[in-house]
Amino acid sequence: MPRPFTITTTCAEQTFQLGRIVGRQIKTGTILTLTGDLGSGKTAFVQGLARGLDVPPDYYITSPTYTLVNDYPGRLPFYHVDLYRLATLTDIEEIGLRDIISGNVVTAIEWADRLHKDDLDDHLAVRIQFGNTDIQHGESRQFIFSAYGRSNQILLRDVEKKCKEQIWD
């Protein structure tokens, strides 16, 4: 089991900035799997991720809940996939996910817990949990990153280093 890295954000802006930090470190072919309850911050994280990948600001990053897949130009081609509405593994095949993840692109997959555990070998898993609530900051989010595969272990090491340099306001 890979050594996880955990970081807490206390607002949507920090969640966005965390995504941006990750996006700036990413190399081609990276797959991120995102899991967490509704409203946990997956889309805010992906919006920051897109900006870190230099997706132009005139592209509005939304969760592809109904379209299932959104793609964006940037420093690296970026695909944002949402599996929430898919009922079966056959549905996953029909949206072309295997073709997407086998390309030289970056892919973020929301609701990745709907995939079969053997579908992905190398990926960066991002589990988001609701944290504590306080009057000053509202509800925090805890991001637990786990890297599978050598390139993702290097990515996670770089992300952890950059996060430790970042000072949350």
Cα–Cα distance, 147 to 160 (Å, whole number): 12
8 A C-beta contact, residue 42 and residue 128: yes
**Hey, what amino acid is at 94?**
E
Separation in Å, CA 81 to CA 23, 89, 96, 144: 16, 14, 10, 20
- The predicted structure's pLDDT at residue 121: 79
Q: What order do you get walking across the sheet with 106-110 strand by strand?
A: 5-9, 138-148, 123-134, 31-35, 106-110, 78-82, 69-72
**Number of Cα atoms under 13 Å in the Cβ half of residue 38:** 3
Cα–Cα distance, 119 to 121 (Å, whole number): 7
Beta partners for residue 93, in sequence order: none
Domain assignment of residue 121, given as a range: 5-144+153-165
Backbone φ, ψ for residue 120 (5° rounding): -130, 130
- The predicted structure's pLDDT at residue 134: 57
CA end-to-end distance (rounded Å), the chain: 33
Model confidence band, residue 15 (pLDDT cutoffs 50, 70, 90):
very high
Token output for 106: 């970056």
CATH number at residue 107: 3.40.50.300
Each residue's pLDDT tens digit, 104-161: 899 999 888 877 666 677 899 999 998 776 555 567 899 999 999 899 999 999 999 9
**Mean of the pLDDT values across residues 72-99?**
77
**Mean of the pLDDT values across residues 34-41?**
87
Does 23 or 66 have the greater pLDDT score? Answer: 23
**How many distinct structural domains can be found in the chain?**
1
Model confidence band, residue 101 (pLDDT cutoffs 50, 70, 90):
confident
Cα–Cα distance, 9 to 22 (Å, whole number): 14
Token output for 10: 């206390």
Task: Indicate the average pLDDT of the chain.
Answer: 85
